[in-house]
Structure 1
Amino acid sequence: MKKNKISFETSFWAGYTAGNPFKAINAFFDFAHLDYYKQSLSGVAMYCYKKEVYKNENPSDIFILYSVVKSFLKVCYCLKKKSKKWKIKKSLRSEKVFHLSSLTKEEYDNPFMVFEKAFEVKTLEEFELFLYQILELSLSPCVADIDLDLTTPYVHLVKMLDAAELMRERGVEKIKNQNQTACVIE
């Protein structure tokens, strides 16, 4: 049976196609810093409830944010399947240091758990719909009567951002079989 590959669509914003999810994560954080993504998503979420338009001076930034985060969601969906073959490298830092505060200790030790939990709660399509909806609401000059659960996918998205940054910082390695050596991707 042939496996369907998910296109991460990185060529729209990164300038090249990243077929490997770990390379796509690098492209994602090379494009912008973790703080930018978190601040932008927080701003978008807050403007869902305002009459003002988010990034009124340059709304095209929102289109780019949509493209990048949509690619990121596809990468995260792919990473949830990689947990059986890959593991995060051990941290050289003290276990008491949690600079990525949205993660629990277990998630800090195994960031793949974040992706597994997120996609148990929502499907990839539901995350993409959430992204579309909050961007649409944040660009509308009218206050809509929101009857949607925006909190759950938002919290999972922030956790996925932190987990991906942690994976990038620490690196990943292929889980060794008896007949196989480790393959490290930085």
Structure 2
Amino acid sequence: MKNNKISLETHFWSGQEVENPFEFIEVFFEYGNLDYYKETLNQFLFHTEQQKLYEKGYPGQIFILYTAFRSFLKACFKLRSKSEKWKVRKALEKRSILEQASLTSEEYQNPFVVFQNAFIDTAFEEYEFFLCEITHLSLSPFGEEFDYDLITPFIHLTKMLDAAQIIRERGIKKIKDKKSISRDIKPS
């Protein structure tokens, strides 16, 4: 069976090509922080029903963010199958429930579950359509009616951002065999 590699297309927004999804997470969060991405995604969604442009002063930045989010989706799609070989390190201390953000306790403990669930509920192509549509609608000065679900992909994408941040903060361990013997690996 032929192994098709999915290009993350990071050169459009980061200036470098990154293919490893764990390295990608570091580059993605160096480009912008979690709050910036979540706020941008919220503004995209907010402006889908507004009759005014988002970022009227510099709409080109929206296109760059669209390409960054599209690369992020591709990395998340790759990460959905990584839980067989990789494990996220446990949190060292008990944290506030607020630090879980949009994640359940199970998702907080194992962020790979977020990526698996996201692509069970919604196909990769639907996420691409969602990104394209909210980008288009947030840059349109006209109100348009649509009859498709924007909320489900939005919720999953928000959860994937939170899960990626947890992977970045805690790091990962390689699972050596079925007995869960592991060694520490830095994600970057």
Tell me the SS of whatever aligns to 1:35: helix
Tell me the SS of whatever aligns to 2:84: coil
CA–CA separation in structure 2 for the residues paired with 1:100 and 1:16: 31
Tell me the SS of whatever aligns to 1:83: helix
Deviant stretches of 4+, over 6 Å? none
C-alpha displacement at 1:146, in angstroms? 1.9
Q: For residue 15 of structure 1, what is the aligned residue in structure 2?
A: 15
- In structure 2, give the amino acid aligned to 1:113: V
Q: For residue 29 of structure 1, what is the aligned residue in structure 2?
A: 29
- In structure 2, give the amino acid aligned to 1:144: E
- In structure 1, give the amino acid aligned to 2:114: V
Root mean square deviation of aligned Cα: 1.5
Percent of matched pairs sharing the same residue: 47
CA–CA separation in structure 2 for the residues paired with 1:181 and 1:92: 17
Q: For residue 44 of structure 1, what is the aligned residue in structure 2?
A: 44
Tell me the SS of whatever aligns to 1:50: coil
Q: For residue 82 of structure 1, what is the aligned residue in structure 2?
A: 82
Q: For residue 128 of structure 2, what is the aligned residue in structure 1?
A: 128
What pairs up with 1:1-186 in 2 under 5 angstroms?
1-177=1-177, 182=183, 184-186=185-187
- In structure 1, give the amino acid aligned to 2:65: L
C-alpha displacement at 1:185, in angstroms? 2.5
C-alpha displacement at 1:95, in angstroms? 4.8
Query: Deviations 1:64-92 (Å, cap 9, x if unpaired)?
Result: 11000000000000000111111100101
Tell me the SS of whatever aligns to 2:131: helix
- In structure 2, give the amino acid aligned to 1:163: A
Query: 1:22, 1:185 within 8 Å by CA — same for their partners in 2?
Result: no
Unaligned runs of 5+ in 1: none
Query: Deviations 1:10-49 (Å, cap 9, x if unpaired)?
Result: 1111111111100011100010000110000100100001
CA–CA separation in structure 2 for the residues paired with 1:107 and 1:138: 30
C-alpha displacement at 1:176, in angstroms? 2.1
CA–CA separation in structure 1 for the residues paired with 2:139 and 2:13: 21
Query: 1:73, 1:127 within 8 Å by CA — same for their partners in 2?
Result: yes
Query: 2:87, 2:175 within 8 Å by CA — same for their partners in 1?
Result: yes
TM-score of the pair, normalised by structure 2? 0.94
Unaligned runs of 5+ in 2: none
Query: 2:173, 2:182 within 8 Å by CA — same for their partners in 1?
Result: no
Number of corresponding residues: 186
TM-score of the pair, normalised by structure 1? 0.95
CA–CA separation in structure 2 for the residues paired with 1:98 and 1:144: 36
CA–CA separation in structure 1 for the residues paired with 2:162 and 2:35: 10
